[in-house]
Structure 1
Amino acid sequence: MLINCVAYQEGKKLADIPIEDISEYLSHPKCFVWVALRDASPEELATMKEEFGLHELAVEDALRGKQRPKIEEYGDSLFAVIQTVEPHGDELTVGEVAVFVGANYVLSVRRDAQQGLVGVRARAEREPHLLSIGSAFVLYALMDAIVDRYFPIVDALEAELEIIEEKMFASGAGAQRDNIERLYELKRKGLVLRHAVMPLLDAMGRLYGGRVPVLVENCQEYFRDVHDHLARILGRLDSVRDTIGTAIQVNLSMVAIDDSEVNKRLAAYAAIFAVFTAFAGVWGMNFEYMPELKWHYGYHMAICSMVIVCGYMYYKFRKSGWL
């Protein structure tokens, strides 16, 4: 579906144009065309391929979707894939934006992404001195907008991790098991975002420093800024991942400690009742010449002996922290 198709010249918007007029505007000096599509159909991409002379392999990747973040060169043009990561309830949904960039055109194809990129166009149009750089600046603006949307997700992951850490020492094995489940869910979300950031971080190195495509020579410092943002996000994700790993180990230790406390209590009560069993076993043998059986207060003395010994054991277990 076509979102918009606009022609620009020297950083200023000329007009919203129909697709049929793209070829005409491409022939104008210092003019480029910016087209945005959403969930493009094969017919729409075929039309764009004909209008812009897109490479068939890049078109195939954009049509198929589910691509790994990457930046590829096709002659004097670039093809970039950036994954979008958006919160949807308790889950993170992954979409992608495929961007075709040439000297006089930019084509963005958004797929499986809810948040639009209209704000990027508005921002670029407010900065005509930067937009006059051409299609390379548009590529930067699109990448910068998508990468900046990663930061609130990282903030949410860190905030949720802090909440779990505060509850980490809550009493009860049930609470610890709930914490472990939440930590694993948090770890899974972090991996989703990491899979979007890590490949793009590696690919960004092609756009600044050393040999770079002629198309982006005038925008290297901008792409370096995006690379810096990605590096910061990756560093924070690594910190979250390490903290989650430590928290999981602590929670598992807490569960083991709780189990150990239960076992200690059971062992203490078993030892106390073993006294009753031992006394009853001795006095229950009923030998004819057993002195206690002939005592008038033998039964009362036996019960008192059991209570005294068991009470003493209970006191010692309680003092040692077993009960």
Structure 2
Amino acid sequence: MAMTRVRPRATMSLFKPRSRPHGVPVQSAAPDTSVIDWAAYIDGHRVCTGSVADAVRLVRDGRLDAPDEGSAGFVWVGLHEPSAAELTDLAEVFGLHPLAVEDAVHAHQRPKLERYDDVNFFVMKTVGYVAREPDQAEVVETGEIMVFCGTDFVVTVRHGAHGELGSVRRTLERLPGRLALGPTAVLHAIADRVVDGYVSVADAVQEDIDEVEEAVFSPERTDEARRIYRLKREVIQLKRAVGPLAGPLRHLAGRRFVPDDIKEYLRDVEDHLTRVREQVESYDELLNPILQAHMTQVTVADNQDMRRISAWGALFMVPTAIAGIYGMNFDKMPELRWDYGYPAVLSVIALSCLALYRGFRRNGWL
């Protein structure tokens, strides 16, 4: 497939070059730009350039001319939360569709795979399990990674604090044979890193569920209802990120532009995604009985408290009733003039209370 030629005017205005020491392989973004890193890759090896425009010109107008075999190189541009103006500049050079550019700027998209002419637009959710103030409770935070994948370029747009791709780039650069397969190798590496993030967060949530389960069934009385409900909310958040990615990833593995070697890796990523999706879906099956068991324990504990209160109330009712009867101040009442009446009444009260106490203890009320 013939390469699209660079539009000179757009290319010249695309992110002005920055001076850096000779021989430094990794570019650092300027404070006023969202570009994290960029490079041209020729036969799997990185070629550093002074600007994104230079990298594009190198790949499209340089010494690469293999029309029968396709492009021998590509450009990889990584951005973090870019502005509309920055993505518009890239769109002019790489031919990105305006609808996809709008999605990449505003984010908040479901995982999906869309094709615009020769450019594939892949959206993935990233997740992280972080502690929040004031109680340091861990919650699932999500971000997004959008990938524009063309025949000779990859543009990655990241939103949120999670899903850092610098390590992905460094890992791939140590595998020139994989990078030589083209932009789809980058697409696979990003999908693999995202799914690995799902696995890490799912394992962390599993540990919290195990802790809650242990606390619920421990002999100590604890109130775990709030924590269980929080975990159920985080599981729902995790399911919203993991579940919708299955369809786009399966379709990606079946696309014709993906080399067979990369399809094998994508199927492996899909298998990992299936396992973590089933793992996350099973969390509801774990949390529901844990919550039911906890509520049952709370109900049983409340009933025990009520029985204990009722038992002590019955014990106090006996002396109260006897004292009330002999406190009515009638002249003709039995044993009012008896010398041993007072100790006899006290003995009756004590024996009655003792009999009730032993009965309640035998039945487990006290």
| Cα distance in structure 2, aligned partners of 1:279 and 1:226 | 80
Contact 1:172/1:258, CA 8 A, preserved across alignment: no
> Where does residue 153 of structure 2 map in the other structure?
105
> Where does residue 61 of structure 1 map in the other structure?
103
> Where does residue 39 of structure 2 map in the other structure?
6
Q: Which has the higher helix share?
A: 1
For residue 129 of structure 1, report the CA deviation from its aligned partner: 2.0
Is residue 185 from structure 1 mapped to residue 230 from structure 2 by the alignment?
yes
For residue 24 of structure 1, report the CA deviation from its aligned partner: 4.8
> Where does residue 76 of structure 1 map in the other structure?
118
Is residue 322 from structure 1 mapped to residue 365 from structure 2 by the alignment?
yes
| Cα distance in structure 2, aligned partners of 1:42 and 1:106 | 18
AA of the residue aligned to 2:59 = Y
AA of the residue aligned to 1:25 = V
Mapping of residues 241-256 of structure 1, within 5 Å: 241-256=284-299
Change (3 A) 1:18 1:54: same
Is residue 167 from structure 1 mapped to residue 215 from structure 2 by the alignment?
yes
> Residue 136 of structure 1: which of 184, 198, 201 is its match?
184
- Post-superposition CA distance 1:258-305 (Å, at most 9, x none): 111110011111111222233223333444443322322112111100
Mapping of residues 222-241 of structure 1, within 5 Å: 222-241=265-284
Contact 2:39/2:52, CA 8 A, preserved across alignment: no
> Where does residue 168 of structure 2 map in the other structure?
120
- Post-superposition CA distance 1:2-32 (Å, at most 9, x none): 1222112232323335222314523533221
Contact 1:96/1:113, CA 8 A, preserved across alignment: no
Contact 1:76/1:215, CA 8 A, preserved across alignment: no
Q: Tell me the percent identity.
A: 37
> Where does residue 52 of structure 2 map in the other structure?
19
AA of the residue aligned to 2:290 = A
| Cα distance in structure 2, aligned partners of 1:169 and 1:197 | 30
| Cα distance in structure 2, aligned partners of 1:284 and 1:113 | 78
- Post-superposition CA distance 1:52-86 (Å, at most 9, x none): 10111101100111211211122232101111112
| Cα distance in structure 1, aligned partners of 2:333 and 2:239 | 80
| Cα distance in structure 2, aligned partners of 1:247 and 1:114 | 31
For residue 255 of structure 1, report the CA deviation from its aligned partner: 1.1
Change (3 A) 1:49 1:31: same
User: 1:32 aligns to what SS in structure 2?
Assistant: strand
> Residue 300 of structure 2: which of 242, 245, 257 is its match?
257
Contact 1:25/1:31, CA 8 A, preserved across alignment: yes
Contact 2:112/2:245, CA 8 A, preserved across alignment: yes
Mapping of residues 77-92 of structure 1, within 5 Å: 77-89=119-131, 90-92=138-140
After TM superposition, the structure 1 stretch with the greater mean CA deviation from structure 2, 41-50 or 277-286, is 277-286
> Residue 83 of structure 2: which of 23, 28, 41 is its match?
41
- Give TM-score, length-normalised by structure 1: 0.91
Change (3 A) 1:116 1:16: farther
Is residue 283 from structure 1 mapped to residue 317 from structure 2 by the alignment?
no
User: 1:5 aligns to what SS in structure 2?
Assistant: strand
AA of the residue aligned to 1:34 = W
5+ residue gaps, structure 1:
none
| Cα distance in structure 2, aligned partners of 1:125 and 1:303 | 94
| Cα distance in structure 2, aligned partners of 1:284 and 1:81 | 85
User: 1:16 aligns to what SS in structure 2?
Assistant: coil
| Cα distance in structure 2, aligned partners of 1:298 and 1:113 | 84
> Where does residue 20 of structure 2 map in the other structure?
none
> Where does residue 195 of structure 1 map in the other structure?
240
Looking at both structures, which has the greater relative contact order when contacts are Cα pairs under 8 Å and sequence separation is at least 6?
1
After TM superposition, the structure 1 stretch with the greater mean CA deviation from structure 2, 240-249 or 59-68, is 240-249
5+ residue gaps, structure 2:
1-33, 67-71, 132-137
- Give TM-score, length-normalised by structure 2: 0.81
| Cα distance in structure 1, aligned partners of 2:163 and 2:117 | 31
| Cα distance in structure 2, aligned partners of 1:220 and 1:170 | 48
